[in-house]
Structures are given as structure tokens and as C-alpha cells.
Amino acid sequence: MKQVVWASGLGLLLSGCANVGDFFRPDAPAEVTTAAQTVPAAPEVEAAPLAPATAAPPPPPAARTAEALDTTTPEQRAAAAAPAAADTPKKTLGKTVVSLGSPTEPGLWLKTPLVTAEAQGRVTNPANGKSSLVTLLPLEGPATAGSRMSLAAMRVIDVSLTDLTEVDVALEG
């Protein structure tokens, strides 16, 4: 009798997950591994088109490490990390706490409630002063809500992939 009740309860629990099959795709990465940390991979999600300077091809299906999932080129990372020209217009949007977005979404981007439309911007890690040019993508929620950052952008500004980090966000260009 206990087995029937347990199995029924499990069935009810899983019946609420309409897209549960998406999480068990054989081609989905099981985890992202770096030298010091392991991060569960999110299922692949279709992203909005990114600006060419911050875009990258999707990672290969077998990618498991941060290096393999980050498909930005060394040139793109160097250009993203380069400071903006002195005459480049900037508008500070505020601070937000970031966590790792889907590591299978390529490019340099930040999904944040600080913008309502796609725009070019810059995120800065106040702890070390490193910054990255990113595509800012709107994320529903109050401006005080957190944001999700791409694996590539997190690596450029040198933040932990597993921590919640406060960054400064500005429009640029």
C-alpha cells in the first residue's frame, strides 16, 4: 500500500511539470566544470539576437567545461574588456546582483530588469574594476530584482560562476 501511495504522489508531483522532458535531453550538458567549481547547466533556451560585437556561435552539444561553453573569441573578450572611449556616451542604470545565466546561451549578455529594450551596455565588477561590453536584454521584474549574466561576460569581469555578485550597469554607445 505504501508503494502505491508513494508512486501516486510522485506521479502527481511530476504531472505539474509540463516540460519535464526538456530537462532530460541526452544532448543537454549535465554540468559546467571549472578548475575550482561545478555549476549545474541550465536547459538550452532560445535567446534574443545579440549585437555582432557581443555574439558568438552556440557551444558544441558535448561541451562540459567553462572553456568549451564559452565560444567567444579571444579578440571578442579583449574588445569587450577594453575601456570605452572617453567620448562614448554613458548612462548609469544602477547596480544589480547577477547570477550565471544559461551557459548554453553564447555571447556577452546581461538579462536585467534595468532595461525595457535590447541595448548595448557595460557591466563593471566593483570589487576589481574589470568591465565588459555586453548586450543588455530586458528581464521581467522590479528594478531591484536580480539579473542573469552570460558565462562569457562573467569570465571577462572575473567573477565566480557560483556566487551572487553585485555589478554596476550602464548604457554605452
pLDDT tens digits, 8-43: 444 444 444 444 344 334 444 444 444 444 444 333
**Does 152 have pLDDT greater than 50?**
yes
pLDDT tens, position by position, 110-119: 999 999 999 9
- Which residue's C-alpha cell is 554596476? 168
The pLDDT mean for the chain works out to 79
CA distances for 46 relative to 74, 103, 106, 119, angstroms? 24, 12, 10, 18
**Does 85 have pLDDT greater than 50?**
yes
Task: Report d(CA 46, CA 36) in Å as an integer.
Answer: 29
In the chain, domain spans: 2-172
Task: Report d(CA 71, CA 7) in Å as an integer.
Answer: 43
pTM tops 0.85: no
Confidence of residue 52 (pLDDT cuts 50, 70, 90): low
Instruction: Look at 4-18, 35-49, 83-97, 147-161 and tell me which has the smallest mean pLDDT.
Output: 35-49
CA distances for 138 relative to 3, 84, 111, 115, angstroms? 46, 22, 6, 5
Give the pLDDT confidence score for residue 173 in this predicted structure. Answer: 79
Task: Report d(CA 13, CA 112) in Å as an integer.
Answer: 31
What class does CATH assign to 2-172?
A: mainly beta
